[in-house]
Structure 1
Amino acid sequence: MADRLPRPHRDDVRIALGGLLGGLFLWGIGLTTRPADDALVLWHGYGVVLVPLVVTAGCELLRRVRPRTALLVGIAALTADTVTRGSVATIVMFTDLVYAAVLYGTPASARRIPWITGLLTVVGTVVPVAVWRRPETLLIGLGVGLVGLAPAATAWVVRNHRDTAAAERLRAEQTALLAEIDRSQAVSAERARMARELHDMVANHLSAIAIHSTAALSLDDPGTSKEALGVIRENSVAGLAEMRRLIGILRDDSDEHEPSAAPTLDGLNALVEGARTNGLDVGLAALAPGDALPAPVELAAYRIVQESLTNALKHAGPGRVTVALARRDGSLTVRVTSPYGDRDGPRAPGSGAGLVGMRERVALLRGTFEAGPEDAPGPAGSADSPGSADSPGPSGSSGSPGGKVWTVRATLPITQAGDAGRPSPGGTE
């Protein structure tokens, strides 16, 4: 089935109807462009002028939906009009067809038509003057320019403005979209940072509370219960203090609180003492005093050690937990190991968020992170067996020589403070 012609635009229908009625009015009052005795008039019939008029009016219906077809048919109608007595309405509608062909046509047509009409204007000016050598022949070139070049050039300017406006709108929409994406990413990053801080601040205290409260309920020993309640109260107070500090940071709109609020590696001794109070046998090999590091690196290292000790409290088997920090080759290495097996007594359930948080912190600093079981270098529980993780070991693992330890190892590049903490291209896991 052949494709149907598209429905003409309502404005084009009005233009065609107006041009036809105007031409009929001029025909009715006998107004034409040339007298009957003009040498160019080949068809002297008065009514013949209506044929090009009607055809051109029909082309106006296609000026928007088929601009090139309308222009080609309009050229034929204008040519026929030049050998009749002529109608002003036909010429005026033809100029609109030229305008529409440039404005609504293809980009190729929009580029070519002004050049073609310009060339015809030059030819229509030069050739008659050269042939007849009469000044009045310049009017031929002027007429060609008014009918062809003027509407084509006008449409070219309008089209350029329209395309520029469309490009600016598209650019504005893309800018708004990028801004919204940046805002969403910033919100997500801030939410992830808050989640990590909240988890790292209170998980250690809550884990100790859960373990000691379970022990106090399950053991019928007044001395043990009293000791457990003391540890519970100490961790409750410390957890509340951490929560108040975090809430104060969230309520503060300024950025000045971050350096003083963030913990540093100087607090590792207190962190290890707290883990010992909670029942862990911890050994610490820290950096030498005064070994300055960028604040983001210190915060990440502190939180990794804190989370590893929390996970050791929840999941590690009996034995010694070791924490070792070393600075070499422009990076800080944090290694925490713990016995890989079941603990005697009650254990708090882990949610798995600790490993995710540690991995995110390391990725933000463009470092490397590993966590998993490995063969113990010596007797399980010895001093050279480091850290823990957020996953318990398999049931029934023994602490005998040749066993396994759970190792958390992070390498943090030591960069300028302005670069540290900048998100890596790959994002976080």
Structure 2
Amino acid sequence: MKLESQNQDLTLFGLPAEQGRWLLIPLGMLVLLCLGTVYSWSIFRKPLEALLNIGATESLLPYTVALVFYATLMPITGFYVDRIGTQKIAAFGGLIVGVGYILSSFASNISMLTLTYGAIAGTGVGITYGIPMVVSARWFPDRKGLAVGLTIIGFGLSPLVTAPLAKGLIDAFGIRQTLLILGIVFTIAISLISLTLKVPPPEWKPQGKNFAKITQISIPSNRPNMLQTRSFYGLWICYMIGALVGLSAIGISSPVAQEIIQLDPIVAASTVSLFALFNGLSRPLFGWLTDRFPAKYVATGTYVLIIIASILMLNASSGEVATYIIAFCLFWFCLGGWLAIAPTATLNLFKPENYAKNYGIVFTAYGVGALLGTLVAGRIRDLFGTYTYAFYPTAFLAVIGIIVAMTTLKREHI
């Protein structure tokens, strides 16, 4: 009775906790919207190439380094969340992101820009990225997949918002002032939102029969440590495959449109907005699905879609615009799906109280997939003279993913 009374007395934003917790989702989305500006780097490249007198390969360096630091710092941060607290980590990470952008506005050469944007801003993104998901997962044990999926929409849809915003600022004020403005705005916005990103007391849980039923059936207390299970290694491999295929597709979307489909460069670039929409909207959908169905079936569904997309592109030729759009919508859709499947499956398969640490470790699969994905497609293009051959390994990896998912992704008890 005392616990129930405490649950009822707990408030968020002046509302009962069960109602107020829903406001944490849009706030988390806003944080990730700021962080996801890293995916709008293509908007900055041309102005920076002109300003710093550098080539296309050099202008990609800050972005590549940012992804490496982001993928490296996110797992490390997971080990300190419970010790330091979500609010402090989010505020610190947001400050680092802002400082990275501000210092980038003063960069006079590509080496300095790689340090300020790639290393510093990328570190801030990695530190902050997991916090909104941890907060959503803790406040929504009854709807964790949906809550986490909705929260990370912000990162996926960020290019739709921040790319045109950055383009408008660059046209109006120039590249240096734009980086300075974004740095100041991100610092203030994330710092203010971080004050709200607190987790519930350990004993708090939502009221209602539905959650009681979920607790009895779906959240057993006798799960082994994650690293002792075959499910972890299966999930890691599946996530790595999903990230590798998705990120390699993202990297070649526009070149494939121009070289294979013979689309005009401006039209090819415009299709990316459509793909980004699919990438964002798939996150709550796959989070919801992973809450309701075994992870192995949801994972297999993404791989079937990847195989379909690969077959479409293997048979695509000049002028087949619809084929290209359908295929790449599926590639981007599945990548967004994996960014919801992996955190939700981590919650469902392993001890939820260790979520921050566990997902940090699982997230290393994304880092490996990102590194391989950005290298493989380009290397195949150099070897064979066309991107068409890149779709053979994507189909093959999807078949491997189906086998791994169906044989390993299940709860293990001791």
Identify whether the pair has TM-score above 0.5, normalized to the shorter chain.
no
Higher strand share: 1
Larger CA Rg, structure 1 vs 2: 1
Q: TM-score, normalised by structure 2?
A: 0.22
Q: Which has the higher contact order (CA 8 A, sep 6+)?
A: 2
